[in-house]
Structure 1
Amino acid sequence: MPGQRETAVSMPLTPSRSDLYWRRIFEKYDKDKDGRISYVELKEIINSREYEHDLPDNVVDKIMSLADRDNSGYLDFNEFVAMMHNPDLKAVFGHFVARYVHSIIPQRGPVDTTGPWTGFRAVSTSDHDGTYEEEYSCWPPAVCMILISLVEIVLFCYDAAEGNTQANGTIAKLFIYNPHKRQEAWRFITYMLVHVGVVHLLVNLLVQLFLGVPLEMVHRWWRVTLVYLAGVAAGSLATSLTDPKVYLAGASGGVYALIAAHVATIIMNWSEMEFAIIQLLVFLLLAAVDIGTAVYDRYWSHLNQNIGYVAHLAGALAGLLVGIGVLRNLEKRKWEKRLWWAAVLLYCSLMLAGILANIFWTARFQH
């Protein structure tokens, strides 16, 4: 009876927060997104890597029979919540559900020592840490950065097959940013596909995959692509103005845009992320060390290098601004809306100024 079900569910959370919290878990279980959890879906989750095959089939049968109140063969949302709080299920399922839920939603609230999930942390109504980590998803697959990386590999191998690996092959000459061929506008973007040597290629591939794929899993491919290409374009535009004789090759502008995009998403989702300050410091340290090394090698060491560090800086700035503008913000606050407008306007202004300067400031590029 409805009254009995309501009595059996002791909710340690406020109603609105509870609905949101359990809805997220329910959607993790509902693999086909039909609003119901079937026996097959329940068994698949229990037998997944998180559970290490701990529960036999008869236990799954027991769970379904106890939780499926209307014998429909499915668990709707209300039945799912009742299952999570049903003391009869704790002995056969509680430990495993608690472990799974804790793995997908990091908790920091006070430990529940009274309810059926003794030892499990309840969610605070004010602490959202860990919400961002919930958003990681393998569907749709994060393939954009993988495809870009494959294109870079194929083009490099094409030139390498002809014995040219130092950005001097047929493909490289067509795509590299050449300051003497600035009228060929595609070079402001396609230089990202050209690399000087195997090490240069591998470093960029590793960084953009390790940084880009996690971003895609939360923010989806088109947002990450916009950030990446914004960094590439900003890098070439800025370099052509500050270093008009420098050739540009490599995806460093896009890579730094991805680094800065992580910083942007940390800023915009500070309260929803676990260990946000640590993540922020790691990315800032990574960028500072690399840019510092590039500047030192160019101006103070005796290495014969001409690294376009301006492309790194411009790519990072573009990634930060575009990241604030297009990446997902899980909980919008008033100050974040103002920051969004400031970032969008500043990026558009800088890009417009860079494009116009490259077109009309002809004296800057005279040899």
Structure 2
Amino acid sequence: MPWAADKPRGEKRKLYRKIFEECDADGNSLICLDELDNFLRSSGRGLPRDVVRYVHDLADKGGNRTLDFDEFVDLLEHPDWQHVFERWVNSYVHFLVPCPKGAAALVPAAPTTDYARVYQRDSLDYADEYTCRPPPVAMLLITLLEVALFLTDELTQKGSTMRGTGVTADLLVYDPAKRSQCWRYLTYMFVHVGYVHITVNMLVQLTLGVPLEMVHRWWRVLLVYLLGVVAGSLTTSVADPRVRLAGASGGVYALMTAHIASIIMNWREMQFAAVRLFIFGIVVSCDVGSAIYDRYFLNVDHQVGYAAHFGGAVAGLLVGIYALRNLNVTKAERYVWWLALVLYVALTLVAILVNVTFPSRYPAAP
């Protein structure tokens, strides 16, 4: 029989009242989401913000976004969530009312909810987060659309894909002389020059994107990908203002560095994190570095959009840090999150201002 269950109901409520008052930082007899979140973190059992919000909303039967004492007690005794709060409740139990040696405090019931299954372990493991529910289809659908538009140009105008002059290419490619058509900063991802170009990009983005979707969900990965594409064209517009741009490499490189972002923010939960970080770092650095070296030191032009690669890589790292899931948030990681957000917004605004303020840098509109 659990120790807490052996105590009379009145004594249990006294214990819960002490915990409630400790959690109620502002002393208004109500516990808001931030107070519950801070209390969990102060106990060393920090949970992701979305999980704290979920359990808070679960207990908020009054719908006023706060928990009164009775709602708080119901949360502590909820059969699906006792195990989540067991550690910090037990710390108060042992401090306030020492229990007999060998006796249990609050025994956790078998979890039944999805969140409960995830957090029944003392330590989270990144590998356990892979799931196909919901199905990882975002990168697959993007890839199919890119292939469909590529084939549309190839079938309607033979050989146009080798020159980037097809019907869809002419409408979608990033052209510095047509910068006023803002969609081109994104839609150039649907234009590829040659079968090798599209084949490599499609294989890499599926290989990198699907595993990310299985852990971080499709909408987060799609956000990283699309913002990486936009960052690629914005970076090109600043570094190579007279260059036309085609291909999804900005998004592909964003996926590469999104893996690095995920490793950084989930370092303790990921096996062989240092090895993974080293591999992705070497791949990204070598490719972007070799393209820059060829362009500026050897004067060799392989028609590779190095600026788009670099911009996509930077965006993938920064956006990945604040958009992808962080399984166990620490105080230091909160600072990193804010730094990444502010830096991404600042870099984007600078690139936009350069485009708007210095039109003479770009070819005249036809």
Gaps of 5+ in 1: 4-15, 21-34, 37-76, 82-104, 106-122
CA contact (8 A) 2:231 2:250 kept: yes
8 Å contact 2:261–2:318 — kept in the other structure? yes
**Alignment match of 1:358 (pick from 347, 350, 355):** 355
Matched, 1:326 2:323: yes
Cα deviation, 1:199-223, whole Å, max 9, x if unaligned, reads: 0001100110011011111111111
Amino acid at match of 2:151: C
TM (norm. structure 1) is 0.65
Q: Are 1:218 and 2:215 counterparts?
A: yes
Q: Which string of whole-angstrom CA distances, capped at 9 and with x for unpartnered residues, describes residues 164-216 of structure 1?
A: 22211111111111111111111000001110100000110011001101111
CA apart distance, 1:308: 1.5
Structure 2 CA distance for partners of 1:80 and 1:332, relative to 1, 3 Å: closer
- Structure 2, gaps ≥5 residues long: 3-42, 48-78, 81-107, 113-117
CA distance in 1, matches of 2:111, 2:184: 55
Report the equivalent of 1:294: 291
Question: Aligned partners of 1:253 and 1:236: how far apart in 2?
Answer: 8
AA partner of residue 357 (structure 2): F
CA distance in 1, matches of 2:189, 2:219: 18
Who is 1:156 aligned against?
150
Higher relative contact order (CA 8 A, sep 6+): 2
Partner of 1:285: 282
| Match runs of 1:2-151 below 5 Å | 78=109, 128=123, 131-151=125-145
Q: 1:244 aligns with which of 241, 252, 258?
A: 241
Residue 313 of structure 2 aligns to which amino acid in structure 1? A
The answer as to 2:161 corresponding to 1:165 is yes
Residue 294 of structure 1: how far off its partner (Å): 2.1
Corresponding position of 2:73: none
Q: Which moved more, 1:227-236 or 1:284-293?
A: 284-293
SS in 1 for 2:268: helix
Asked if 2 retains the 8 angstrom alpha-carbon contact of 1:298 and 1:307, the reply is no
Distance 2:110 2:286 in 1: 53
Matches within 5 A, 1:251-266: 251-266=248-263
Contact 1:257 / 1:317 at 8 angstroms: preserved in 2? yes
**C-alpha separation between the residues in 2 aligned to 1:158 and 1:229?**
22
Tell me how far 1:357 sits from its aligned partner. Answer: 1.8
Residue 197 (structure 1) aligns with: 194
Task: Determine if contact 1:298/1:306 at 8 Å carries over to the other structure.
Answer: no
> Would you say the 8 A contact 2:126–2:270 is kept in 1?
yes
User: CA–CA distance in 2 between the matches of 1:205 and 1:136?
Assistant: 22
Q: How does 1:331-350 map to 2 (within 5 A)?
A: 331-350=328-347
Amino acid at match of 1:146: L
RMSD: 2.8
Residue identity matched to 1:236:
S
2-structure distance, mates of 1:159, 1:187? 17
Once the two structures are TM-superposed, the CA of residue 305 in structure 1 deviates from its matched residue by 2.2
Q: Partners in 2 of 1:346 and 1:234 — Cα distance?
A: 13
Instruction: Please tell me whether the aligned partners of residues 238 and 311 of structure 1 are also in contact (alpha carbons under 8 angstroms).
Output: yes
Equivalent AA in structure 2 for residue 250 of structure 1: G
Shift of 1:78: 4.9
Give the structure 1 partner of residue 181 of structure 2. Answer: 184
Q: Give the distance between the partners of 1:200 and 1:79, measured in 2 at CA.
A: 52
Identical counterparts, % of pairs: 52
What is the number of equivalent residue pairs in this alignment? 257
Q: Check 1:132–1:160 CA distance in 2 against 1; reply closer, same or farther (3 A cut).
A: same
Deviation of 1:295 (Å): 2.6
User: TM-score, length-normalised on structure 2?
Assistant: 0.65
Distance 1:270 1:364, change over 3 A: same
Q: Kindly report structure 1 stretches of 4+ aligned residues shifted beyond 3 Å.
A: 77-81, 296-304
Secondary structure of 1:270's match? Answer: coil
